[in-house]
Structure 1
Amino acid sequence: MRPNGLKLYATCAGLTLAVLAPVLMPGYVLVYDMVFTPRQPLNAVAFGLSEALPRAVPVDAVVALATLVVPGQLVQKLALAAIFFVGALGAGKLVPTDKTGVRIVAAVAYTWNAYVAERLFLGHWTLLLGYAALPWVAMAGLRMRANEPRAWTRLVLTMLPAVLSAPGGLLALGTALATAGRRKVLPVLGIGVVLNAPWWVPSLLHSGLSDPAGVTAFSARAENWGGPVLSVLGLGGVWNGEVVPISRTNPVLPVITVVLTVAALLGLRELARRMPATRNLTILGAIGVLLAVIATLPGGATAMTAAIEHVPGAGLLRDGQKWVAWWALPFAIGLAVITERLNARMLVAVLLMGLLPDLAWGGFGRLEPVDYPADWARVRELLDDQPGDVAVLPLSAFRRFDWNDRRTQLDPAPRYLPGTTVADDALSVGGRLIAGEDPRAARLRAHDYTGISWVLVEYGTPGRADENLLKRLEKVYDGPELALYKVPGVPPAAPNGPPVAPVVLAWIAAGSLICVSLLWRRLLVGRFAPPQREE
């Protein structure tokens, strides 16, 4: 590797350590939607075969398989490190230049920004894995555009981190379509449809719809006087104000955002002379910005509400700010190209980091590893090989445990305990209750415990359990953090999810495509396939 190449790799490693150094200590980082456990159960829910919408499919199955081999905390640390190192490296390599400083600017701009910070603090690690894959997907799409041999296999493999989640899979598919060109639309669509099948097949088979109240609750928000549009153009604007870094309220930031946006667009105009698909990537970025702010525009919220009320899967349009990822990539590489004629490229990279100092060191205390209390392992042992589903009290999707420094975190029980755990999935956003999507959780709210064989009570978090209910149950375990009750005389709940056959076929199709891609890259027919003429 040439010294200049080493500088890019060293920069990517430095960015990773600058953010994640405290996270790499022993323990689990539990914040908002990011929950890892020592060994995640491999159950029907992980494959989308439950009554709830498959929002964590296929990532739950992948993590469950991974934790059969290595501890969950190691899986978490590797995933978080990949977000920064792989994302930065991909953005740097995507820029068509021989100047390492330009590549470094792209790497910094793509990973040290408000989008990454806010989504990281919100615990959206699967979305960020897809985000980190986008530059690599773009490079694979450009190879397909140039008719390079085996380029389609590269596209399949680079999309894998993204298809762990539905939004990530769609982000990757859009990026691939933009870079591969019109003549490759059908093969790219085919690859995207098959790889994303494990989540979209059970989603279509699910009878429920998302709560349209989430349209306004999850819409982009202003982080300063510039309003939501400028916040989004600066890669911020996430709906949850609690995760927004303080630096995003800087009164000078809207002006800086305008300057950087203009600079990026000028860089993209220059880049269009060297890299095909630059125009498509820019248009895709504009679409991402539009989707992010549409709920804040006149008539936008009404249109989105109608879609969510009538179209299965349209709930993906909620939290539109996630689509800003499509703008982040052209923004980063365009900004890098405009610095090509400058001698102070490293100063630009440092200034970009200086605009968001509170991403460093795990957000200065936002991300700190903790250990699960011993009660969790004890309850898991008691439930091993025991039939029946577990209901969790108090009824709330999120917890604030004392042992996690009162940080808001998703209830870890469904990913810690064996079997199927039913937890409340309704969300309280800005004082408004957003209905959940799991019918069994809704029944728990109505005090209907049909099919529930166990009740787990979690202590040290806001909310109360129904004491009248607990008096009728048999206490099996009572520790300082958890109590476990047996519901007497209740048979295990019968499976009640989507039809098994189409879901299994979806997994087989995706797995087969991955295996064929790997084999095609290794076998003689793939390795020595004659190159085709460029279009």
Structure 2
Amino acid sequence: MTVDEGWTRPEPSPWPARLLALVVALLVTGPALAPGFVLLRDMVFVPRQDLDLDALGLGGGLPRAVPVDAVMAVVTTVVPGEFVQKAVLLATVYAAVLGAARLVPPGPDGRRGIAAVVAGLVYGWSPYLAERLLIGHWTLLLAFAALPWIARAALRFRDGEPRALPRLVLACAPAALTPTGALLAAGVVLALVGRRHLLPAATVLLVLSLPWVVAGVLHPAGGASDPAGVAAFAARPEGWGGALLALLGTGGIWNAGAVPAGRGSVLLPLVTLALVALAVVGWAGGGARRGPGLRLLVLGALGLVLALAGTVPGLREGLEVVVRSVPGGGLLRDGQKWVAWWALPLALGAGLGARRLADAVRARDVLPGAAGLVAAAAVLLPVIAVPDLVWGVGGRLQAVDYPADWERVRDVLADDEHPGDVLVLPFGAYRAFGWNDDRPQLDPAPRWLPRPTITDDALVVDGRVVEGRTSVPARWRPSATTRRRSPSSGWAGCSWNGARPAATSPTR
């Protein structure tokens, strides 16, 4: 199917897909919409964030959160961070479901029907979304949710529609908030935009990526990363199907603590095989597998290769060389995140497959209502694949309030006229607070306090240390847990509210 045959054709009845997206978004994010903040692993929002050197990517650590930290600093001067987080989570799930539903090619009657419902659920009610929520990668999910909209905008730009380039910029902007998101967006754009429009599209992507590109070039570490992260962050099996089958179902995240309990079902690999088979049926029918469809399939295959590389001897060693030697190569360590490229053709193919099977059953007139049963089974498949995604992934996205001590510490530091950075104790990147039910979370201090903070960004995974890239001298680390104030270094130590290192290190 070509662009002219309807990939971007408006839906005559848009409200069913909108209602589906809203219902799914509310079911997934329900607990997070209660008063307070969801603080879980890397998902840390604060009431108000300052625009400092770290937010601009010019501080001690690698510019992994550029420019999103700067954007959050600007936004939270106007809107409290609590409401920003709720809006982001709700909009992310809504956009993911609706985007995939709108991108699936329409049928001969110009409607998307059951194909839109299945595509939206396979994409927006997916292991990828559940696992990245539990590990707290909300910025990656912003990019994930934007990919269907980026694809539509790229196809419109390729087709020469009026105002297509501004639409492409708007669609790519949420993804470009982080380096990984920008690369995910670039893959979709370059796959679909066509040779004639490649240069202006690439220029748009480069301009949107300049904040993190420039920050990475200026960073003293040169953007290199610890190659030990390749094995530590490699995709892991879910059930008896192995890593490849987990990735085919868009699961397989490296952190066992970020996997929904339902993903351990003995039937899970069979459900994954059924979804992949449904997608094969969809892409095998008609001309949908040509043109944009073929290019999305190739991009999805590339995503699977990158996701699997850390588990395959030979590829793993090559990846370690890239991570160690190439600036920015560390972006490839967490391979499973590239499954986002595969999730898109999987969802679209499943939607097309559901329509094709339902039409075939209807045409044969085997039994009254048989086509409806086929459609219902296709709708249930993605729900069965992640049954506990409902209500905040089984209630794990609970909102809590920051204790008043955090505001008092912030005020004290803001009023302190003495120069110096803040050494946060205990010395480590992750915390487990009693007021947050001892859930592991990234330390909020670097974003919440009004001064630059000294933290250790080394990560321990199953006893294996993956070094970070902060500017903290190694000789200071052993004594960091006892240092309270050092006039010579200009550091001030902070420890409060029973803060302690995360109860358990991230595990595979």
Q: State whether TM-score is above 0.5.
A: yes
- Equivalent-residue separation in structure 2 for 1:82 and 1:401 (angstroms): 28
Bigger Cα displacement from structure 2, 16-25 vs 144-153: 144-153
**1:442–1:19 Cα change, 3 Å:** farther
- Equivalent-residue separation in structure 1 for 2:159 and 2:252 (angstroms): 37
- Equivalent-residue separation in structure 2 for 1:447 and 1:337 (angstroms): 60
2:246 matched residue in structure 1: 231
Give CA-to-partner distance per residue, 1:404-432, whole Å, 9 cap, x none.
00101000101111021121111111111
1:255 matched residue in structure 2: 270
**1:93–1:442 Cα change, 3 Å:** farther
- Equivalent-residue separation in structure 2 for 1:105 and 1:275 (angstroms): 21
- The answer on whether the counterparts of 2:271 and 2:381 sit within 8 Å (CA) in structure 1 is no
- The answer on whether the counterparts of 1:105 and 1:346 sit within 8 Å (CA) in structure 2 is no
- Equivalent-residue separation in structure 2 for 1:102 and 1:438 (angstroms): 48
Matched, 1:393 2:402: no
- Picking from 303, 318, 321, the partner of 1:303 is 318
2:463 matched residue in structure 1: 431
Deviation at 1:350, TM superposition (A): 2.9
Give CA-to-partner distance per residue, 1:261-307, whole Å, 9 cap, x none.
13213312336448731111100000000000011112111111111
- Equivalent-residue separation in structure 1 for 2:95 and 2:286 (angstroms): 22
Deviation at 1:446, TM superposition (A): 4.7
2:134 matched residue in structure 1: 121
- Picking from 32, 40, 45, the partner of 2:49 is 40
**1:226–1:340 Cα change, 3 Å:** same
2:398 matched residue in structure 1: 368
Matched, 1:78 2:87: yes
Give CA-to-partner distance per residue, 1:232-258, whole Å, 9 cap, x none.
011000000111112212222222222
- Picking from 276, 279, 285, the partner of 2:300 is 285
**1:442–1:322 Cα change, 3 Å:** farther
- Equivalent-residue separation in structure 1 for 2:39 and 2:444 (angstroms): 9
- The answer on whether the counterparts of 2:283 and 2:289 sit within 8 Å (CA) in structure 1 is no
**1:140–1:251 Cα change, 3 Å:** same
Structure 1 letter corresponding to 2:285: E
Give CA-to-partner distance per residue, 1:128-161, whole Å, 9 cap, x none.
0000000000001101111122211111110011
1:264 matched residue in structure 2: 279
What are the equivalent positions in structure 2 for 1:33-182 lying under 5 Å apart?
Answer: 33-97=42-106, 98-182=111-195
Give CA-to-partner distance per residue, 1:301-332, whole Å, 9 cap, x none.
11111111211111001101000000000100
**1:160–1:2 Cα change, 3 Å:** closer
- The answer on whether the counterparts of 1:399 and 1:408 sit within 8 Å (CA) in structure 2 is yes
2:496 matched residue in structure 1: 458
Deviation at 1:378, TM superposition (A): 0.4
Deviation at 1:25, TM superposition (A): 0.5
- Equivalent-residue separation in structure 2 for 1:454 and 1:462 (angstroms): 18
Deviation at 1:459, TM superposition (A): 4.2
| SS, match of residue 367 in structure 1 | coil
Deviation at 1:187, TM superposition (A): 1.7
Structure 2 letter corresponding to 1:81: L
**1:3–1:444 Cα change, 3 Å:** farther
- The answer on whether the counterparts of 1:271 and 1:337 sit within 8 Å (CA) in structure 2 is no
- Equivalent-residue separation in structure 2 for 1:217 and 1:378 (angstroms): 38
Matched, 1:7 2:35: no
Q: What TM-score does the superposition give when structure 2 sets the normalisation length?
A: 0.88
- Equivalent-residue separation in structure 2 for 1:207 and 1:446 (angstroms): 23
- Equivalent-residue separation in structure 2 for 1:359 and 1:72 (angstroms): 24
Structure 2 letter corresponding to 1:370: V
Q: What TM-score does the superposition give when structure 1 sets the normalisation length?
A: 0.84
- Equivalent-residue separation in structure 2 for 1:379 and 1:441 (angstroms): 26
- The answer on whether the counterparts of 2:410 and 2:448 sit within 8 Å (CA) in structure 1 is yes
Output the aligned Cα RMSD.
1.9
1:378 matched residue in structure 2: 408
- Equivalent-residue separation in structure 1 for 2:287 and 2:467 (angstroms): 46
Give CA-to-partner distance per residue, 1:59-83, whole Å, 9 cap, x none.
1011111100011010000110111
| SS, match of residue 226 in structure 1 | helix
**1:2–1:109 Cα change, 3 Å:** closer
Deviation at 1:229, TM superposition (A): 0.6
What are the equivalent positions in structure 2 for 1:269-348 lying under 5 Å apart?
Answer: 269-270=284-285, 272-273=287-288, 276-341=291-356, 342=358, 343-344=371-372, 345-348=375-378
Matched, 1:16 2:31: no
- Equivalent-residue separation in structure 2 for 1:3 and 1:381 (angstroms): 55
Which 5+ residue runs of structure 1 have no aligned equivalent?
Answer: 465-535
- Equivalent-residue separation in structure 2 for 1:370 and 1:463 (angstroms): 19
Deviation at 1:434, TM superposition (A): 1.1
Deviation at 1:357, TM superposition (A): 1.3
Give CA-to-partner distance per residue, 1:153-204, whole Å, 9 cap, x none.
1111100110111111100110011111222222221111111110112112
| SS, match of residue 140 in structure 1 | helix
- Equivalent-residue separation in structure 2 for 1:368 and 1:353 (angstroms): 22
1:407 matched residue in structure 2: 439
Matched, 1:355 2:355: no
Deviation at 1:206, TM superposition (A): 2.0
- Equivalent-residue separation in structure 2 for 1:201 and 1:439 (angstroms): 18
| SS, match of residue 415 in structure 1 | helix
